[in-house]
Amino acid sequence: MAEFRDRLRGMGVVPPMSNSSDAEGWRLCLVELCRIYLGSDASDAAGSEQLSLAAKESLPGDLQLAALLAKAEVQRQRNFELRRELDFAARREALLQTIASQDPVIGMRSLEDFVRVLERVRDGCEQATAAIAGGLPPERIQVSSETDLADLLSTLQASREGLVANAQ
């Protein structure tokens, strides 16, 4: 019981001094907990008037219980949605790791290698776009020897065909 009282004090609620005989004290404690839990804001004047009115004529227990149950249901639904999203992300990650582990090219290269290759491809595309926009014919566009992507592209094409065949 002492731990419960400490938790109430930690939330800013003063519990009644007697253990169980002070029904009015516990009712006021419950009203205050409901106010905190349901997010009533006593900072504005109207809110403070409503709060003082609620302290004098507190809401019936069944209404407070219904409000708490409704809030709990909303939290359960949110929890369910988040759990479902997490499960989907975990399954997707496992699938991608399985596919990546089956491809020997991905196993031989690091993520940094792929990033460098993709950056070179992007830079080459930007240069080609600028050159074509500038009026150079495509034959005059210079291609660096560093951007030899034939092996990577053929492997990616074979992987793509394998995935398409597996999907059918």
Q: What pLDDT shows up at residue 56?
A: 46
Q: What pLDDT shows up at residue 42?
A: 43
Q: What pLDDT shows up at residue 167?
A: 61
Q: What is the pLDDT of residues 113-143, one digit of tens each?
A: 888 888 988 888 888 788 777 765 555 555 5
Q: Are 156 and 118 in the same domain?
A: yes
Q: What pLDDT shows up at residue 72?
A: 92
Q: What pLDDT shows up at residue 77?
A: 94
Q: Tell me, yes or no, whether 41 lies in a domain.
A: yes
Q: Are 92 and 123 in the same domain?
A: no
Q: Tell me, yes or no, whether 64 lies in a domain.
A: no
Q: Are 123 and 140 in the same domain?
A: yes
Q: What is d(CA 110, CA 86) in angstroms, rounded to the nearest whole number? A: 27
Q: What pLDDT shows up at residue 109?
A: 76
Q: What pLDDT shows up at residue 82?
A: 95
Domain span at residue 52?
A: 2-59
Q: Are 114 and 95 in the same domain?
A: no
Q: Tell me, yes or no, whether 26 lies in a domain.
A: yes
Q: Are 120 and 134 in the same domain?
A: yes
Q: What pLDDT shows up at residue 65?
A: 86
- Residues of the chain below pLDDT 50: 41-47, 53-54, 56
- Our count of domains for the chain comes to 3
Q: Are 89 and 38 in the same domain?
A: no
Kindly write down the DSSP assignment for every residue of 81-118, as one continuous string: HHHHHHHHHHHHHHHHHHHHHH-HHHHHS-HHHHHHHH
